[in-house]
Structures are given as C-alpha cells and as structure tokens.
Structure 1
Amino acid sequence: MDPLPFFSPPLHSQRHTFVIDYVLKNKPVKVVDLGCCECTLLQKLRFHHAIQLLVGVDIDGATVKKKIHELTPLSTDYLQPTFDQLRIELYEGSVTQKDARLKGFDLVTSIELIEHLSLADVEGFSEVVFGYMTPVAVIVSTPNSEFNPLFPGLTGFRHSDHKFEWTRAEFRSWALKVCLRYGYEVEFTGVGQAPPGTQQSVGFCSQIGVFRRINEQDGCNVLFSDDSDGVFPYTLLKSIEYPSLRDNNILRKVLVSEVLYWAEQMKTRWIEGFIDRSDIANTLYYTEDGEGDCDRVSELCTAMEDKLTAAACGAEMQQCGRVVSEDQEGEDGDVLRTNSKGQEEFSQLRRCVSVPLAVLWAGYPKVSAWSGSLSNLRLILMEDTKVKLSQDGSALLLYHQEQEEEDHDDLKDDDFEDSGCTEASQCYHSAEEDWEAYV
C-alpha cells in the first residue's frame, strides 16, 4: 500500500470548512463551539453575517484567554459598521455541566472533542448537549480508528490525551442511541479521503455526524435564552460586542460623519466653481420628500450658470461675537475691529457655506437609508454638537476661510453661533436647487 500523503488542505481546515459550509447553507443565528481551545473555528465563523451570538466553551480557560485578542473587532468594523449584529462570549467550563446560557442554540459544534472524554463523561456530554441544550443541529466529529493503520509508524491513539477512538460502527451505535433517546436524526459523513481504492474499506480520517432535531418547533432557539433555571456553572472569560448600526449611538455617529464628509465635498466643489451646464441638465429639484420636480430643471440650470462670489448677507457683519460695519473692512478681506483693550486690529472674515439637508438626504443613499427620513436626519443633526444648522434647520452650515490663520484653532465653537452666519455675516450662500449639480 502506498504511504499516506499529507492532507491538502490540512485535515483541521477540512473540518472547519465542513462547519462553515453548513453555516452558509442553514444560516444559524446562535452558534456554540464546545471545546473551542485556541478559538480557530470561532475566528472563521465571526465573519458570517447570519450569526448574531457566537459562543466558545473550553475547560482550559488559560488557552482561551491567550486568543481573546484575535476575536476583537477589526478597525474596519468600527470605520464601516453594518446592520449586522454579533456578540462573542467565551466561557471556561466542562461540557458535562449544564449551563442555562447555552440552551436553545441553532447550532452546536463538537470538533474532535468527545475522544478526550472518558466513556462515562460521554454519557454526560450526550445528556447536556442533546437533552438539556436542545439545539436545532449538532455537528460532531471524531477520529476514525479504522483509518489509523494508514498512518506510517502510528501505534496507539493519534493523541496522547485521547481516551478512546471509535470505529465507524461504534460511532454509529452511539449516535443512533442519542437520536432515539433525545429526538434527533443523524447523517453520517466525514473529511479526509483515504488513498484510492481504500475509501470503502476504511472510511474518512475524521468521521462526522450531523444531528438535526426532529421537532424543531419544540426548541427554544431564541436569541436570548430564558435563564429561569438559574444554572450558571461556567465562568465568563470575555464578552465582545461588535459595532453595529442597530446601536443607536453608533448609527448616529456614523450618520453624522457621512453627512459631514459629503457636505465638505460639496462645499469644496462649490467654492472651486466646478459648474457645468451639462452636469445639471438632467438634474431634478428635490423637495423635502425627495421627489423630483421636472418643472424646476430650467430654473436650476439658469441659477447654476453664474459663478459664485463672496457676497455680504446683510449691511452688517459679525466677527467673533462683535458687530462690525462693512466700511470697516480692510485690505485683502480683513476686518478692522477693536479688542478688549481698545486697540484696533484686523482679523480674517469668517465665512460659511450653507448646504441644504434636502440635497444631502436625496443625493446620497447611505444618508437617506440610515436616517430614514429628512425630518429624522434633521433631528439627529440638531442633537450633535459638532454640527451647526441654519436657524430654520433646513441647511448645514460649514466654515470657509480663503486664508488660513495661525490662531484658527483658538476659535471657539460658540463664535459660530454668535457670528449670525445665516443673516448677518459674509457667506457663500446657495439656494437649495444650486446644489443639485454636486451630488
């Protein structure tokens, strides 16, 4: 017989791939991996969006703790959160103990675990998993001892901690007893193909049983299980909550960032004067409901024809909380003012650009999807201290200064409110329809 080649991909990867394929097909919401050890399977499962609760249990808490950092959210999870929800919980405990927090899962995996238990503990494992936890499905893999002669030089078990290694018949006998007692059905398969011509006689290297509860409606596979029995012997090592847009605080932060980003982009394009009639010829005027009004197209095009210029919004302009007249304007757009010591000094005019919320809401899918409605977008922005709105709440106000000042960082947030930008300061102001070409 030819010597056994190395498995490609490695056998442990094939076992994990088997579980992942099941997850992709059945989309379980709650998954627990018993005997998670170094959390390798958990690291792969966390990227599957259907899973909302992912739990790992192992009797060796020290090993699990060493791998916790590999299960924490990535930077991209915070920068680009989605509506997916995921919580990972890691426990130290024995699979022969009942813990109410593990009841009613959609899927329980036990990958190369039971052979590390004594035969007496296997009975306890069966009662805990199938009788107490009552998951919708269970995947159990264990070594196939009939395959062992194909390993050159192997004597005894494959691992020094194995208490037994079953033949295919022994594994089948145990599985069928479990099904009969607890109301499951099982399908037998495996991973790790034998060399050509020997598959029928020796079977797979790792044999797998996929158990499914016959009466699924009798289970309690809800996202948060009922802990009324009060049995909690496991020690919680870590609970990791992944950022999700279902969290209102995260949703608000991401939405505000999205709005500010696109508003800045629009402001820049506006100020640089990128105006092209062909860009707006087919643009509709958006009402507050986001509906187009074709009758406004010609008016829109006419309005966009003129290049923007800085214009005074009123007869007086207010700078840093002090009202100054237009005739006090100095060279290069500076404003002459009197400081607290009665000394005259010049300072750069603070200008602003008004970006209509209706255009932001109608023009950018994420803004409209995340806010839900224009009125809701307005309420969210009004509650954020980083955002300044016009007095009627219809537009976002952004600073613009043609020349950078060394003391720009010293300006206070309340200066913006005091400047009266919407009515009394020098502004770049746009009617709502003026923005359509820049979305």
Structure 2
Amino acid sequence: MEPMFNPALHRQRHQFVIDFVKRNKPRKVADLGCGECSLLKKLKFHHEVELLAGVDIDGAKLKKHKHGLAPISTDYLQPTYDQLRIELYQGSVTQHDARLRGFDLVTSIELIEHLTLPDLERFSEVVFGYMNPVAAIISTPNSEYNPLLPGLRGFRHVDHKFEWTRAEFQSWAVKVSLQNGYKVEFTGVGEAPPGQQERVGFCSQIAVFHRLRGRDGYNILFRDDAEDVFSYTLLYSINYPSLHDNNILRRVLVTEVIYWTEKLKRRWREDRTGERDESFEQCQAAEGAESLRSSECGAVMNSIMEHCTRCTAEIQEEEEFESKEEQESCGLQRCVPVPLAVLWTSCPKVGALSGSLCNLRHILMGNPEIQLSQDGSSLLVNLQEQDPEEEDLDDLEDSGYAEARQCPHSAAQEEDWETNV
C-alpha cells in the first residue's frame, strides 16, 4: 500500500520544528518524550543550538539510541567556533527538574495523548508553570482525521489515552496559555485530500506557544525562589569539540602552522631542484586544491618565500667567511627564520585562529612541534636539502640524528583527535 503522506507524517512533524528553529534560532532546546532521539539527531546539525536536552521515561531506549548523538570524526578534525552540548535524561514529564528550566524552546511531539488526564494537568504545570520556555511546540493526533485513515478502528495507537478534536485541543491550549502568560497559534501537518481540508483539518494538529514577555523576560508565574529539584537521571552528556576550547584551538593552530611550514619546505626544494613532488601533487588534487603557484596558497607561499630568499642570501654571505669545517658543523643546525608577523598576515586561517600576533606567539611558545627564535618573534624552518644517506637516517627512530637538529619536524603529523580530546 502506498504511503498516505509524502514525506512521511513523522518527518513532516520534525521538519516543522526544524523550520521553527531556523527562523527563531533558539540556543537551548528540550524535546520531551524524545524516544529514539530522531528529532535531536536532526537538530544537532543546526549551529544556532548550543544545548540539546532530551527527556524520556524509557531509559533503555535512550541508552540504545544515544550513540547517534555522538560527534563524528569530522567534528574533531575540523572543529568550528560553534558550541553544542547534548544531554539525555530519564524521567517523567510530570515531574520538576531544575535543569530543564528557562529553555528557549520545548517540544512535545505526539506525547500528550499518552498521558492520563490527571497527568496532562501536571504536564501543563511542569512545562508552562515551572520550565517556562520562551516557546513550546506541542503536537497531537487530530481525531477528526481518523475516518480518512484506512483500516483504523479506535485510537491510532494502543497506548493512547485520548485523541482530541480540533476544538478540544484548542480549548486545552488556550486555557493553558491564559493561566501561564502565553499566546498560542494553531496549525498542523499532514494535509487532507483536496476539498476536505477545512472539514477534517490536519492529520497531526500543532499548537505553538509564545511566552508573552519574550526571550529576555519572565512571566510572573516563574518561581525564582522555588527550591531546585533534580528528579531526572542524567544518562548521557557530550560536549562537541569547539574552538572555544583552548586546548582544541591550540591543537588546530599548531597543525595549521606545521601544514604551511611543510608547504614552504616543498616549495623551496622545488625551486632549488626544479623537480615537482608528484605524490604531493596527487594529494593536492585529491583535496581539490589548485597548483601552489596558481592558487591563493601560491600567493601565500610567494610572500613567505621572498622573505626566506633574503634570509638565505644573508646566511650565504656569512658562510663565505666561515671555514669549510664550520660550515659542515653549522649546516645541520642553521634554520631560516620566518617572522610570525609574515606568517600571521600571509596565512588567513592562521590569522583567524589566533586572533592577534600576540596570541599566535603565546600559543606556539613551548610547543615541542614548533621551534621559535630565542625572542619568540620568528618561526625557524630548516630549508636545507639533505643527501639521500641523511634522509635514510631520518627514518631511524633511534639514530639520534633528530636530537642533533634544531628543527626536527619537517611535516605535519597525523593526530588521533578522538583519542586525545
């Protein structure tokens, strides 16, 4: 049998919430009766949301589906300044819990029809009198639509305690709004066949509640002096990686500096030898990057290379006055200084991540993967070419050669973000 709705009705309900979030940009969202966490899994991709909380009485179901809310690898590899925390609670929507107070948006999708009428009264007091969100979205089946559902006898679900008509739902919602300082609007999802919409309405009816004093105020029924109650059990909580975390910011910035250092060294060797690194070119192509000389990356390299060329010329002039033996002993140790000011102004991402030249210097100082000049003003980059025998020595972990060099790191090392964060 072909589905009656396209998209499916549950998807339409979730999309209604998502559209509301896009328009109103709530920072804190709670889903009551979150079940399999389907709505939460969709809302976690919306950057305006900073806290997602789910509440359900079925703890086993929450434990089963919580893993779908965890960050994925790209969240660790490419963190942004967005902040997101997700919390799952086991508990009844008829009980108070101070951790759910003052949210921007509370949703209750196809939940209230599973409550007895006395529990529904308590639910109304908990949500609108105690939690007191800026807005709330509540959906429930519309019993007037039931005759259009093929094969349906009685309620749509065996656990439903009631199914209201549009008039019954609106009467309850208006009463709750007047009692708690809200206004309410009515709509729905799941349109009836042509010519029957006005007669039967939507398959799922929706009430959208707005607190009268808006985001920055609290109505007079919000009990600030009420004793904090924690009746829910926290089953799961996770903070998504964010550049607001100093440790993550430091890690990403250091990786970016090493990345540009490696590009600089490859460009230097190409210009000296006239040979292109085919493996590196293939990697660039796989990433969708353009040639170093024709892209923005090439412009950055040109800016830094001009400075390095001047520095190298000065070093060569100094070497003319040194003995051959002294040159050999110093050759392994001498690095070209690249001022952090050049790196900061030439590499937009480095500048954006650090915020200021002072911050860049502060973050890089003391990092074992980065070598700075004695006064901390320059990044020291070893651009010298190596003989094949010396390159083989680099591959020996215990050769001791790396310890003899002042610039031991020639490439960005891969990091296991998920393990280290």
- Fold in common (TM above 0.5): yes
SS at match of 1:261: helix
- The aligned residue for residue 140 of structure 1 is 138
User: Counterparts of 1:420-435 in structure 2 under 5 Å?
Assistant: none
- The aligned residue for residue 372 of structure 1 is 355
With 97-106 and 305-314 compared, the bigger mean Cα shift is at 305-314
Specify which of 19, 23, 36 is matched with residue 21 of structure 1: 19
- 1:326 offset after TM fit, Å? 3.5
- The aligned residue for residue 158 of structure 1 is 156
- 1:392 offset after TM fit, Å? 2.5
With 361-370 and 167-176 compared, the bigger mean Cα shift is at 361-370
Distance 1:398 1:227, change over 3 A: farther
Q: Deviations over 1:146-175 (max 9, x none)?
A: 101001110011111111111101100100
Q: Name the CA distance, whole Å, in 1 between partners of 2:46 and 2:130.
A: 27
Aligned length: 374
Distance 1:309 1:9, change over 3 A: farther
- 1:230 offset after TM fit, Å? 2.6
Considering only CA atoms, is the larger Rg found in Structure 1 or Structure 2? 1
| Structure with the bigger percentage of strand | 1
User: Counterparts of 1:298-337 in structure 2 under 5 Å?
Assistant: 311=316, 326-327=324-325
Q: Name the CA distance, whole Å, in 2 between partners of 1:125 and 1:380.
A: 50
State the identity %.
Answer: 62
Q: Name the CA distance, whole Å, in 1 between partners of 2:83 and 2:17.
A: 20
SS at match of 1:212: strand
- The aligned residue for residue 175 of structure 1 is 173
Distance 1:186 1:95, change over 3 A: same
- The aligned residue for residue 364 of structure 2 is 381
* Preserved contact between residue 271 and residue 308 of structure 1 (Cα < 8 Å): no
In the alignment, structure 1 residue 41 sits paired with structure 2 residue 29 = no
After TM superposition, the score normalised by the length of structure 2 is 0.80
Unmatched runs of 5 consecutive residues or more in structure 2: 275-292, 295-299, 408-421
- The aligned residue for residue 338 of structure 2 is 355
* Preserved contact between residue 315 and residue 326 of structure 1 (Cα < 8 Å): no
- The aligned residue for residue 32 of structure 1 is 30
Q: Name the CA distance, whole Å, in 2 between partners of 1:21 and 1:10.
A: 16
Specify which of 143, 146, 149 is matched with residue 147 of structure 2: 149
- 1:415 offset after TM fit, Å? 2.5
- 1:266 offset after TM fit, Å? 1.4
Specify which of 372, 394, 397 is matched with residue 409 of structure 1: 397
Q: Name the CA distance, whole Å, in 1 between partners of 2:137 and 2:64.
A: 26
SS at match of 2:227: coil
With 46-55 and 379-388 compared, the bigger mean Cα shift is at 379-388
- The aligned residue for residue 229 of structure 1 is 227
- The aligned residue for residue 120 of structure 2 is 122
- 1:410 offset after TM fit, Å? 2.6
- The aligned residue for residue 6 of structure 1 is 4
Specify which of 56, 66, 69 is matched with residue 68 of structure 1: 66
Moved over 6 A (4+): 300-303, 305-310
- The aligned residue for residue 413 of structure 2 is none
In the alignment, structure 1 residue 394 sits paired with structure 2 residue 394 = no
In the alignment, structure 1 residue 194 sits paired with structure 2 residue 182 = no
SS at match of 1:67: helix
Q: Deviations over 1:68-95 (max 9, x none)?
A: 1111111111111111100000000000
Distance 1:35 1:410, change over 3 A: same
Q: Name the CA distance, whole Å, in 2 between partners of 1:304 and 1:26.
A: 54
With 349-358 and 107-116 compared, the bigger mean Cα shift is at 349-358
- 1:373 offset after TM fit, Å? 1.3
Specify which of 228, 251, 254 is matched with residue 253 of structure 1: 251
SS at match of 1:397: strand
Q: Name the CA distance, whole Å, in 1 between partners of 2:109 and 2:174.
A: 18
Distance 1:311 1:104, change over 3 A: same
- The aligned residue for residue 425 of structure 1 is none
* Preserved contact between residue 83 and residue 246 of structure 1 (Cα < 8 Å): yes
Distance 1:67 1:307, change over 3 A: same
User: Counterparts of 1:288-307 in structure 2 under 5 Å?
Assistant: none
- 1:397 offset after TM fit, Å? 2.2
Distance 1:263 1:40, change over 3 A: same
Q: Name the CA distance, whole Å, in 2 between partners of 1:389 and 1:302.
A: 16
After TM superposition, the score normalised by the length of structure 1 is 0.77
SS at match of 1:108: strand
Q: Name the CA distance, whole Å, in 1 between partners of 2:254 and 2:312.
A: 29
Distance 1:212 1:328, change over 3 A: closer
SS at match of 1:273: helix
* Preserved contact between residue 263 and residue 355 of structure 1 (Cα < 8 Å): no
With 131-140 and 405-414 compared, the bigger mean Cα shift is at 405-414
Q: Which amino acid aligns with 1:72?
A: A
Distance 1:197 1:302, change over 3 A: closer
- The aligned residue for residue 279 of structure 2 is none
- 1:394 offset after TM fit, Å? 2.2
* Preserved contact between residue 4 and residue 151 of structure 1 (Cα < 8 Å): no
Q: Name the CA distance, whole Å, in 1 between partners of 2:36 and 2:3.
A: 26
